[in-house]
Amino acid sequence: MNVMEEITKWGHEKVLFVNNEEAGLKAIIAVHNTNLGPAIGGCRLWPYASEEEALFDVLRLSRGMSHKNAAAGLNFGGGKAVIIADPSQKTEAMFEAFGEAVNALGGCYITAEDVNTCCDDALIIARKTNHICGLPHVSGDPSPYTAIGVFQGIKATAKVLNGTDSLEGLTIAVQGLGKVGYDLCRHLHKAGAKLIVANLEQEKLDMAVEEFGATVVSVDEILYQECDILAPCALGAIVNPTNIPKFNCRAIAGAANNLILDLESGEALKARGIYYAPDFIINGGGVINAAAEAAGDYNEEAVLEKVYNIYNTIEKILLESKETGEPEGVIATRFAEERIYGNK
């Protein structure tokens, strides 16, 4: 992999590679765009198979954050960080070293929690930098707000599918029962949806069966269940040439980032007549919450107003796609980039 070619291809401003052997930290921080303000985006901790895989992920995720923040109307650019490690390898020294790395960027990147990092980790990072949000005594865990936004986006998707946003009796397949996925199931169950779920941890599956009456299938089968809406809440790139012919849903609307592998996959999904709620729009609730803290004027009521507006944005994009035949992801990207690059 030619690193500079990859960075140039995605349009990034800067990428910082961090290697602190004493602290056990290997990390990459990617700042995609700061036209609208400092880049904001979480820190993901994941046991990547290679450094190339980690770089590919952080570049896609940080670009997605530029789009997500712009589409949500936030005055922040997009960035992301990945720590290459297994969750069992977490140490305070690792997160302190990461905080020092964030601080070295001088405020052009503001970090927060993400996959396998939490509020307690954020407090450790905050020992070394002020460029962090999602602290427990301010905005806190962003995942409940992400789940609310995804739920609103699913309701909007149902409205375009059926003429009503009622979820009563609809079958929704949820891939992944992490913080967001499980919280989303709670909202969906309360709204009367029938749930099919898959997860790597048996404990969460048992809880979903008991609390929501969910039907459990394997992680290999969940994407291909017959359902009204497929809600991927795990990792991305599930809309790809291998999976598209096997989907048995009417729409895809979930919390995972970068759900569509590439432009061609988005076009192929559209050709199959399957609606797609763009991931960086529908899952924007968490960063809306965190950005309010970063802006220094946190107010939960104002945050929720913006999160509920995800419904309107998703409905608008789906209806435009229905009318024009243009893939939803293309419409959403144009919507975001008009704001990003119109502010130069």
Active-site residues: which are they?
Answer: 80
Torsion of CA 198, 200, 203, 209, to 10 degrees: 10
User: Pick from 151, 302, 163: which is nearest to 231 by CA?
Assistant: 151
Closest CA to 222 of 206, 240, 243: 243
- Return all residues near 125 (Cβ < 8 A) that are at least 6 apart: 43, 95, 96, 98, 99, 102, 111, 132
The angle at the Cα of 276, spanning 184 to 171, to the nearest 5 degrees, equals 50
Helix axis angle, 310-324 to 143-162, nearest 10°: 40
Element (DSSP H or E) covering residue 47: none
Q: Which of 177, 339, 334 is nearest to 263 (CA)?
A: 334
Which run of H or E residues covers position 139? none
Residue 299: C-alpha distances to residues 75, 134, 260, 290 (Å) = 16, 13, 33, 11
Distance, first Cα to last Cα, the chain: 31
CA–CA distances in Å: residue 15 to residues 32, 52, 67, 82, 271 = 8, 13, 18, 11, 36
- Residue whose pair of structure tokens reads 């609606």 in the numeric block: 275
